[in-house]
Structure 1
Amino acid sequence: MSFEEEAVPDGGRAPEPEGRAVPEPSGVDLARVALRAAKERARERGAEAQQKKQARRGGGLRSGARRDGRDPLPLGTAVQRLVTERGWETPTAVGGVMGRWPQIVGADIAQHCEPQHFDEAERVLGVRCDSTAWATQLRLLAPRLVARLNEDLGHGTVRALRVRGPEAPRRSPGPLRAPGSKGPGDTYG
């Protein structure tokens, strides 16, 4: 008569078929079962203690020789991640255009016109020229410049140029002026 032996969770065997006597577990078998249970409890307590220790230290595993998510990043990668997370791609790109203005528009125009600011809401780049003649010339070139800027920055980044000519100096009272005076025109009558 053959039968399959089944493992029982406590480490013993399934009961023998009727007709055979079931031997009592010996002291060695009982010691093995007790040792196995003690090891399992110790393993569980060790895992709990390790989790508590990590929570006190601020969590996470120790850094080792292999790469993980807590390793320092190269500066360029860290800055690029910051720009992306904050949504600063367009202002950063426009800032790059302001730094490369002579390469984009040419040396002649760059000598007489310089970018001042970028209005992100309206997507308008403000440019100041040193004479009205250059301001007029730049207004005529504006469609080509907007197309060139959008090639560098991405389609639709710059919608228009706001070209301004030179401004007269602002008159503000200095430390040696009398209150209410109009400057050199009001002396001696």
Structure 2
Amino acid sequence: MTDQSEPSSGAEQPGGEPELRGIDLARRALEEARAAARASGKSVGQGRASPKRLRTGARRRTGWSGARPDERDPQPLFKLAGSIAKNRGWSAKVAEGMVFGRWSAVVGEDIASHATPVTLKDGVLSIAAESTAWATQLRMLQSQILAKINAAVGHGVVTSVKISGPVAPSWRKGERHIRGRGPRDTYG
């Protein structure tokens, strides 16, 4: 016996067709769309722009970035600055600036605390040591310092290193200057 109060799953619409729900309704709509496309002369998938291919050969959707990295994603500033410097021919000047800007990372904290780079002209880096003892020590480590700089910044940026000790104050300035050698002493 069937209970007349429960609606049957195949309830009919006024047109005589059973009422569609859920996935059946979606399938019916898809079939109707495909039939309309065939009737207009287009095959399914025609009329859309072909998806662009990435460098790796993978396809991507247009309009938004997906879960994986994409060239449309925000890029780190150092990558953008590097590409701008490369395009404009500033790479050599940027590499020279890295010697001064990253000095402690390039040569190490111990050397950086006792010596500072002063000038870089025509591949010759002038380094000032805080004492004559450190200047002597750095002269013995000169080839190792040059190798560290070339590894961090690039070959050809720094070709040689000139190390000097502390500079003595000049006694030739002031209103009471007297000609001659004046007082001499070793500083450092």
Q: TM class, shorter-chain normalised? A: 0.3 to 0.5
- Larger radius of gyration, structure 1 or 2? 1
State the TM-score, normalizing by the size of structure 1.
0.48
Greater helix percent: which structure? Answer: 1
State the TM-score, normalizing by the size of structure 2.
0.48
